[in-house]
Amino acid sequence: MTPFGARLADAVAGLGPLCAGVDPHPGLLASWGLTDDGDGLARFADACVEAFAGTVAVVKPQSAFFERHGSRGIAVLEELLAAFAGSPTLTILDVKRGDIGSTMDGYADAYLGVGAPLGADAVTLSPYLGFGSLSSALDTAADAGRGAFVLARTSNPEGAEVQLAEFGGRSTAQAMVDGAAARNAGVTPLGDTGVVVGATREHGLDLSALNGPVLAPGLGAQGAAPSDIATIFAGLQGLVLPAASRSVLAAGPHVSALRAAAESLRDELVAA
């Protein structure tokens, strides 16, 4: 399979940089007039596939909101990922997995291996057992033409005590960026290992050597505007995927309105 970085670069060139969140939390299901169960979840997922496939470059399903429905929710998530796999739109499954040894291998088999049952084009990973603990997942992803986004500088206030802690003259967050950059070195047009950096604050990171993608949550309801993105990520060697969920999903449940909201935000990002 073509490497994830190359596929992502092509998708963004064709469909713009917006990453649309797929977050079926209970309040949203209720606002769409859907039941908070497997049936409501399936109807929500079908609408998102119809609205976003071929409209945006990337979607980001939040695994937790599917997992809370048990085995039926996981089945809906599998079906959602499979539906997008047949479209021009790539998927980043937001699972934030991170562990060591055989446990990390198990997560890699579930999400990143060839034929993985919950296979997405990429997943989010938590590196706070050490960046090196992710090696098996990153290697498995590369072998299958998939990618990963490693948490670096998140927008939640609690993150600062870990992410801004310094050792050896650099912050933990910068060490995560540097680890991703080492994986991406020399890859064209773009490496497969991205980082997660919130779009709602000045991050203070040197992204000039990343040569990979930045997943930037916080667009829309969380406060970041399209015009902020170029300023916040000035100097990046790679590309930015500004992610928005609530501000787009609020347009549902009608597919046409949902698609229009995604197109409007996508076009604002391109113009900015």
Output the CA angle 86-63-259, nearest 5 degrees. Answer: 50
Give the dihedral of Cα atoms 85, 87, 88, 92; nearest 10 deg.
Answer: -40
- CA dist 187 to 10, 99, 207, Å? 15, 27, 16
3-state SS, residue 254: coil
Residue 45, classified by CB atoms within 10 Å of its CB into exposed (0-12), middle (13-18) or buried (19+), is buried
Q: Which of 267, 149, 164, 157 is nearest to 222 (CA)?
A: 157
Active site residue 96: yes
CA diameter of the chain: 53
- Determine the length of the chain: 272
Paired tokens of 265: 């935000």
CA distance 29 to 44: 7
Residue of 25, 72, 96, 201 marked active site: 96
Distance, CA of 203 to CA of 209 (rounded, Å): 16
**What are the angstrom distances between the C-alpha of 203 and each of 48, 75, 87, 163?**
31, 37, 33, 10
Catalytic residue annotation: 96
